[in-house]
Amino acid sequence: MGAESATRGLPYAPVSRATIQDHVYGRLREMILTGGIEPGRTVTIQSLADAFGVSAMPVREALHRLVAEKALTVVAGRSVGIPFLSAERLADLCRVRLEVEGTAVAWATDRLESGDLDILGGLIEEMEAAAAGKDRARYVPANREFHFTIYRAAGSETLLAVIESLWLQIGPFINLIGTVDGWGVGNEQHRLMRAALVERNSKASRAALRRDITDAAGMLERMLENGSLSKNDKEAAIRKLVKAE
């Protein structure tokens, strides 16, 4: 039996360039959110293409989208990295997060089901164990899933897209909080948030989220002040790092 007759009638279609680009885009977003591309590190188009097993074109197009979303910036030539975080940009992102994510929590308060609340409880315990073991690779995804379990329950795809954009911009720096004292302290706010959600108290859940966001922003502000997130440190790190994995 020939290849043509063997595949005739099967429900498949050729993979389009747009499909490949979307796949690459999704992989890159996940890398940014989980610390696969850290501040101070650069990657090249070709290294990403090799890692994903695709040509340079879909990688380039996906990177253009992420640069437009301010999740990445062109560093030099064909290399990209996480944009520099200034004190002004940190304050701006924090201010917007308080409003947008606060709205999502308020909307989700009466929509979360008992199964969602159970998931939140499990994620809190996961973060507790990760914090005790100083396991950032375990803490980061649990923290993100905790927040987005709530945000998805708000029932607004538009609001969720805005929050995802904000996390793409601030997430790489929040992940670095694992390198300073006080990492994991936000889990207390997670417990308060969940307790408020169980009670369907939108005011209290929003207040706990506000403290969670401002606590993280305060830690990042101190990192900026002591130079660990300064532009000079970032540029020095870039010069020392290999541009690709």
| Distance set, CA 6 to CA 11, 13, 14 (Å) | 12, 15, 16
Give 78's pLDDT tier (boundaries 50, 70, 90): confident
Angle at 104 (CA atoms; ends 102, 105), nearest 5 degrees: 65
Fold of 17-84+231-240: Arc Repressor Mutant, subunit A (1.10.10)
Nearest to 128 by CA among 214, 194, 176, 201: 194
Same fold for the pair 17-84+231-240 and 87-225? no
163-194 residues labelled b (16+ CB within 10 A) or e (exposed): bbebbbbbbbbbbbbbeeeebbebbebbbbbb
The C-alpha angle 96, 188, 155, rounded to 5 degrees, equals: 45
Query: pTM of the full predicted structure?
Result: 0.82
Give the residue, 238 or 65, on which the prediction is more confident.
Answer: 65
Helix segments in 36-156, DSSP class H:
45-52, 56-68, 87-108, 114-132, 136-153
Confidence band of 77 (pLDDT split at 50, 70, 90): confident
Q: How far apart are CA 48 and CA 169, in angstroms?
A: 20
The model's pLDDT over 177-214, given as tens digits with 9 standing for 90+, comes to 866 555 666 789 999 999 999 999 999 999 999 999 99
Higher pLDDT, 221 or 2: 221
CATH topology of domain 87-225: Four Helix Bundle (Hemerythrin (Met), subunit A) (1.20.120)
Domain ranges of the chain: 17-84+231-240, 87-225
Per-residue pLDDT of 54-66, as tens digits, reads 999 999 999 999 9
Question: Is the confidence at residue 47, as pLDDT, over 70?
Answer: yes
Q: How many Å from the N-terminal Cα to the C-terminal Cα in the chain?
A: 43
Cα separation, 24 vs 50, in Å, equals 12
Query: Which helix (H) or strand (E) is 73 found in, with range?
Result: strand 73-76
For the segment 99-117, the average pLDDT, to the nearest whole number, is 97
